[in-house]
Amino acid sequence: MLEIIRVSKSFDETPALREVSFSVAKGEIIAVLGPSGCGKSTLLNVIAGLLLPETGEVCWDDVPLTDLPTHQRNFGLMFQDYALFPHRDVFGNVAFGLQQQLLPPAVVRARVTAIMEQVGLADFGRRDVNTLSGGEQQRVALARALAPQPRLLMLDEPLSALDRALREELLRELRQILRVLEQTAIYVTHDQEEAYAVADRVIIMRTGEIQQIGAPDEIYAQPASAYVARFLGLTNILIAMPERSDGQLGVWLPAAGWQPLANGGQQPPDDYAPISVLLKPTGAQISENGNLCGTVTGISFRGALIRLQLQPEQGPPLRFELPTPAEMPLVGTQIQLELPPNAVIWQPEGDQ
């Protein structure tokens, strides 16, 4: 098991990682998600042993790896720029790491054949890599990284050069392959949909710090900060004063009336201290006597769902994702939405 313990790293006195700690269980796929420049690659380089942290440790099964050079860590790496060897055929590319280990040719052949089958390249051995499609090249790169059976595979934006449809297909396959091999993996991306599609748990980073770690649905249901919420594309954020009514803690929202606040394991907010509240975009329904009234300012269809933008009388526009109703609301009309129980997630104001 991999453990990152309070790792910090700066460049020219500007911190790129600050006290980063987390662990990865055997067979787990972790996605590290954050915008460009938040420290994702630095983190991978520290784990790989290509960069030394200033403080903190990287451990495997409780053994610090500090003095273990990169090539002895048995960690595999796959980058966006996966640079296949152009003068080797597919077999030669996949066999590379094993040949470096001076394994007997029969062992190399058996392992390469097995892994090529696993990634869907069974008959590709003699193909020139320059004649492969983008998706096929990606599979060769994956097979090359997996062939030496690394105890950890790190993937740094491996699919960002591909178009969306191909990326989605490869993501599903990739998850399946990693699962079958019970491969422990860290997948770095700035794309939340990619992170959600591939990972068991997601780490959300911001300027060198971890903002939240959790299963995708946990993070979506309870983002730890307004930053995380915005990063996930949740934009229904309002500022409000919490109050007590009949002993119950809640907020009066100009848009949505009285909303009780679940505390989600957090300290209850102080009365009269403003908080940011997030109206969950899912779970609402169009209703004749709902608690949120507004004018439809945008609508888009996504199969069984519609995305609706609603402008309440006061406050910013709000976005919701609803099951496609039998009767479609029209842009410019007023509608009412019934919000689900615990529609509101809150955090202290200023915690951006």
Q: Can you give the binding site for ligand ADP, defined by CB under 6 A?
A: 11, 16, 34, 36-42
Per this entry, what is the length of the chain? 352
CB of 183 to ligand ADP, least distance (A): 22
Nearer to ligand ADP, 16 or 48 (CB): 16
CB of 50 to ligand ADP, least distance (A): 10
Shortest CA distance to 133 belongs to which of 121, 117, 143?
A: 121
CB of 219 to ligand ADP, least distance (A): 18
The structure tokens listed for 318 are 């709000």
The structure tokens listed for 243 are 């109050």
Nearer to ligand ADP, 39 or 216 (CB): 39
CB of 262 to ligand ADP, least distance (A): 33
CB of 207 to ligand ADP, least distance (A): 8
Nearer to ligand ADP, 39 or 150 (CB): 39
Cα–Cα distances in angstroms (integers) from residue 16 to residues 20, 51, 254, 309, in the given order: 10, 12, 41, 37
CB of 319 to ligand ADP, least distance (A): 27
Q: How many other CB atoms are found less than 10 A from the CB of residue 122? A: 11
Nearer to ligand ADP, 16 or 251 (CB): 16
Q: Which amino acid is at 300?
A: S
Burial group, residue 18, by CB count within 10 angstroms (0-12, 13-18, 19+): middle
CB of 37 to ligand ADP, least distance (A): 4
DSSP state of 131: G
Q: Give the containing element (helix H, strand E) for 61.
A: none
CB of 204 to ligand ADP, least distance (A): 12
Whether the CB-CB separation of 157 and 190 falls below 8 Å is answered with yes
Nearer to ligand ADP, 89 or 194 (CB): 194
Nearer to ligand ADP, 38 or 112 (CB): 38
CB of 28 to ligand ADP, least distance (A): 21
What's the rounded Cα separation, in Å, for the pair 244 and 251? 8
The structure tokens listed for 337 are 């939405």
The strands making up 248-253's β-sheet, listed across from edge to edge, are: 242-245, 248-253, 257-260
Paired residues of 77 in beta bridges: 154
Shortest CA distance to 183 belongs to which of 142, 125, 139?
A: 142
Whether the CB-CB separation of 274 and 240 falls below 8 Å is answered with yes
Whether the CB-CB separation of 225 and 276 falls below 8 Å is answered with no
Whether the CB-CB separation of 61 and 53 falls below 8 Å is answered with no
Nearer to ligand ADP, 39 or 294 (CB): 39
Nearer to ligand ADP, 39 or 49 (CB): 39
Nearer to ligand ADP, 37 or 254 (CB): 37
Whether the CB-CB separation of 43 and 19 falls below 8 Å is answered with no
Can you tell me whether residue 304 is helix, strand or coil? Answer: coil
Sole residue written with tokens 């730890």:
224
